[in-house]
Structure 1
Amino acid sequence: MKIINPIETDLLTSGERYALDQKFRKLLSNEECYIYVQPNINSLKPDFIIIGKTFGVLIIEVKDWSEDFILSSNQKIVSCENGRFKNPIAQIETYESIVLSKLNGVFDFIDEDGELKVNVQKLVFYTNLSEEYLMLRPEFIYGSANIFDRKKLRTLTLDELTSSRTNSLTDAEVLTIRGILFPEIVIPTEMAQTDEFVEVKDVKALDYEQEEFAKKVPNGHYMVSGIPGSGKTVILLSRALHLAQQYENHTILILTYTKALANKLKHQLSIKALDMQIPDNVKNRIEIKHFHKLCYDIVGFNKRTADQSGEKYFNEVWPKEAINGLKGKSGTYDAVLVDEYQDFHVDWFELCKSICKKDQNGQENLFFAGDRLQRIYEVTWSSYKEIGINIQGRSKLLKQGPRMLFTQ
């Protein structure tokens, strides 16, 4: 059992925490499965999606409503004391439709009769409602979802949770399901698609630890290092997309060394945002710039003096001017992510910290991806302490290519 839980625990409702801690963690502890907590899928957030080798995909919606909390309801809308909500049955059918449409695009998941071989189940948990009450509210139990009232939840068994164990998925098939449902973790390949289908063998994606690292709750400095093609840039883009979706008001900056790399990342980001059906107003909160464009946006361009070489001006003088231009001002961005950090100079890291907002503990949400062994340009720093970056306990090293594992 592996859990992708990218949000603060106190943001979960009591019913969601109960389902995760008292049911899933206990019942699925010996299962080969991935538990996604409030994942983003086509800009929607089901409470849980669980992917298991023997039972396929579970889509789970949890409602904490008590009987006296509900004012009125129909098959579309539930009016409660604190607002109007979509009927959970209608919600989960929407989620199912999205999941099915994505999985039906994988050639290997379709049998000879054109049917989907991956089992997909819908479950709705009413943690505070009785069976008697639900029988009087048919709008809460219609359709094909498995319904669990508070009594059934207390005695929930593994067999009831995973009622159809007809699948025998391989590791590659599970990875493909993860990549298809969450395209932000897919590692791009050079192979062009010849038709509308993809095949399992062609899907490369981040493994569990890489995805979990990309979606950590922001707090402090993080770093991922790896050889070219190891997936570090995918982790960076995945994190940027996750932050933009998870936090409605967050603005995110991705910085690179060169304009060419910035343009490449913009292209990759657009493709992933399209695959994820992320609205423009969310995607547009992610800015991608090369470092000197950031300097220009802060202080403009001052003509260098005769005693300043081009290298000295661009690497030292201009960044210092930008840092000085920010003095006394609060940070602009909620998160700053740097690709190919190894080519950044000392003051460049200082500018990254200056442009980033601090949390209540005085820490910036910074993320760095690169490889110190792949330096192209001459830089003057040799330790992370020297550049003011604290990554102790917050770094990962990628040693291999796609589908690689992390090593500490």
Structure 2
Amino acid sequence: MMDDRVISPPLAQLAKLRQPLTAGERAVLQLFRQHLPKDWEIYLQPHLNGLRPDFVLLNPNGGIAVFEVKDWDLKAMRYFTKKGRYGHELWAERNGEEFCIQNQNPVTKVNLYKKEIFDLYCPRLKANTGWAAITAGVIFPFADVDAVKSLLSPFLKTQDGEKFAQYQPVSGIVEVTAGKILDVFPEANRTNSKIMSKGYADDLRGWLLEPDLSSTQRTPLVLDRNQLSLAESRTESGYRRIKGPAGSGKSLVLAARAARLANEGKSVLVATFNITLWHYLRDLIVRGLDAPEKLKNVRFTHFHLWCKHVCYDAGWDKGYERLWHSNDPREVLNTTLPLLADEAVTLPNIERYDAIFVDEGQDYLPLWWSVLRKACNPGGEMLLVADATQDVYGTASSWTDEAMKGAGFGGRWAQLATSYRLPPEALGLARNFAEAFLPKDAIDLPEAEQGSLDLYPCRLRWVQCSPDTAGAVCSNEILSLMRQTGKRGLANADITMLTGDMQSGMNVVNRLDEYDINVVNTFGDDHRRRKMGFYMGDTRIKATTLHSFKGWESRLLVIYVPDAAHAQSLALVYAGLTRLKRSQEGSWLTVVCSAPELHEFGRSFPDYADGASATVV
């Protein structure tokens, strides 16, 4: 039978799947091939950044569906539920022995897949209404559907006939063998969705499919001798810590080492603090791979998302959800959740990795690192890269010498010193700022590359203004930068606005909207989802917080500084100043500042203006 549709991986490669298809999965695949309208794409066991649903269906005009398939024969063994540590749990009995199988609960799994597709991997789906674009179904090909629904009823959010029940279908042996596609997948015939779009489908496809990049479409990673030595070696213990200033190549070394291990078939967990950094690191790692499909060996996460997955994999999803009820969110994030994950990660079914790499390690607490260590295979590698100068959360001071020894480190830090990001003139100003405003025992100053002074011109501008005019000044400075685009390899999409808080950023975005200038931003109540949709390849002007842009770089920057009264806010300003990317065709940095503490420093910029002279473009 010929399939006039997208099936990934291709049918000829199904025998090479990491986990062979079960008899039930083969039956479901046959059902989908024969009865799904051809516009539905079928993805089997897609590597969804570490999640492994059995099936994902995608139709740019119809929606998204994720299915979990269970081959359980409910008559061959007794399956039941009972109250456990965190509420109802799935259990089974064999030969008189009862055992918990909550970590295999298909409803819990498929609901997690749906939530993370919505939150992280298809972030442009609109809040509230976007949920209706995603079906989360459970299929038991060898069991009666009524028996399945009875067993799973404590976990189902809807029952037959209730509103939205079609988005959580449950089906069994009759529905599969008789080809009743609308019972298995009620949304199968949808051909026109007001919620779904081709762009949203592209967002998800980027995670479902391994990137298909040829050598002409990507530039291999280029490392200096010191960076290359670190990327191609490991310490005797497997533990390594690297420090260096902004632009010195810490993330580059991490990416190159991750790519090398992935090429060898080893599993790598890359853990960041900010979600926005995933896109940047993913692009770097792809450039170091022998073949694009090797990316399946790398999983991207941030610490708290990893904790969530560990708790779910342990079957403790209710325990995870309970943490957030009437508890201080900061205490949950810093201590309570890590301690729950610390307990869960010791269970035998929790996934472990050959290497765990942490970027922006100064933002991590030693406890977090300690919990992550337990997910590393014996003899594996642990890498921590950090820059204490960018201590925007006040966590770097917790990494005492004693804490470092307890974290498995010995000897000195590996050091990177030369900055390959900043134009030399901007580098000098960043050094001056760090020496004037940051703790002397924490700063790690970038050094200029020899012979680069005349190669990378840049325009450095500082505008001092009042808080009530800052929004207008920022928007006008962005409009001014738009005059630089269309030449020297620059486009409007290269313009990035960074700010210390979301409210001031949203003010600027709203002002630009009055000029019909569309901005991709990470502001608003759904900022977590927006961060997953924020990547430098987007064709719009960018706007985000200084926190979220750590690790990134741009040739056209506008930075708004509303506050400079505290150590963390000063570290944020430094982080922003070091985001400028050098180019032989020029770079532009404009700082709009309403913090009086930095007024005199602003006067050291080659182009200085007060608000009155900068409010008209």
Shorter-chain TM-score category?
A: 0.3 to 0.5
TM-score for both structures, normalised by structure 2: 0.31
TM-score for both structures, normalised by structure 1: 0.45
Structure with max Cα Rg: 2
